[in-house]
Amino acid sequence: MGTPCAVTISNIYLHAIERNAINSMIHAPKLYTRYIDDIFAIVPSLTYKNNLLQSLNSQDENIKITDESNFNSINYLDITISKDTNMLHTDKLITTLYHKPISKFLYMHPNTFQPLHIKTNTIINELHRIHKTCSLPSDILKHRKQYYTRLRLREYYPHTLKSIFRTPIPTKQRLLYYKNKKQTITSLIFVTQYHPFVIHHKTTIKNTLTLSKELTDKYPHLPKSKPIITFKNNNSIYTKYKQLRKAHIRELTS
């Protein structure tokens, strides 16, 4: 696992093993999913489970898969998955958060040298995870209270936490909605070296560099939106350091 492509190659190889094993069964399991080396499957009976496990382990003598089965609930990654009480009629599963017993919950300390928005967003994202993962409102309330208590043990101030915890959380459907973040950049990109003047006059510079409506109407291929201002890396200090270091080495070796 020392090369960057090792995980990808392992996934491809395991996919081939799984495909051969599942195709050898009379019918496919109701649900079969895997993340790296953790597998979650829903099968009709223990006999089917044993046959599937035997088929998976017979594909390669160097790969052996062990199982942890349960009729009612099981832990998979950071989720506890259990049957609904009326699963025969609803065909639904109940999910809630799962924490390993060895977890120490060492969240980011409030006095750490990080921007305030990083600390705030870390807490908000964990609250989103609770609302996305837990199926039952009672589980959501339970995990929110536990999370609040753990943050207080990390010395977060109560008024800060209460302000964050009172922030409205989107619905589960909204949180699970996939957002396509790939957007085509159609704006001009203005690259310059960092300078406080640019930061303080960013809006003015953008407005000045924005093409007029008459020009964009005449030439439709030109961008209509405001330009994007980016800063290039200033390597002057690092370059100077390398020069001084080389000079120092020459003095030592001469």
For residues 13 and 56, state if they share a domain: yes
Number of domains present in the structure of the chain: 3
In a domain, 51, yes or no: yes
pLDDT for 6: 83
Range of the domain at 42: 6-69
In a domain, 46, yes or no: yes
In a domain, 64, yes or no: yes
In a domain, 44, yes or no: yes
In 3D space, the residue among 24, 13, 34 whose CA is nearest the CA of residue 55 turns out to be: 24
For residues 171 and 195, state if they share a domain: no
For residues 150 and 205, state if they share a domain: no
- The residue out of 126, 144, 176 marking a domain boundary is 176
In a domain, 37, yes or no: yes
In a domain, 138, yes or no: yes
For residues 206 and 242, state if they share a domain: yes
In a domain, 208, yes or no: yes
How many Å apart are CA 122 and CA 244, to the nearest integer?
A: 41
How many Å apart are CA 124 and CA 141, to the nearest integer?
A: 15
For residues 140 and 167, state if they share a domain: yes
pLDDT for 179: 66
For residues 169 and 224, state if they share a domain: no
Per-residue tokens: 87: 């699963």
Global pTM reads 0.65
Q: What is the three-class DSSP state of 189?
A: strand
How are the residues of the chain apportioned to helix, strand and coil, as percentages rounded to the nearest 5? 45, 15, 40
**Residues 6+ away with beta carbon under 8 Å from 253:** none
Local structure of residue 100 (DSSP, 8 states): -
pLDDT for 97: 95
At residue 15, φ and ψ (nearest 5 deg) are -60, -40
pLDDT along the chain (254 residues), means of 10: 78 90 88 90 88 90 86 90 78 89 92 90 95 93 96 94 92 78 72 81 86 85 84 68 79 78
pLDDT for 69: 80
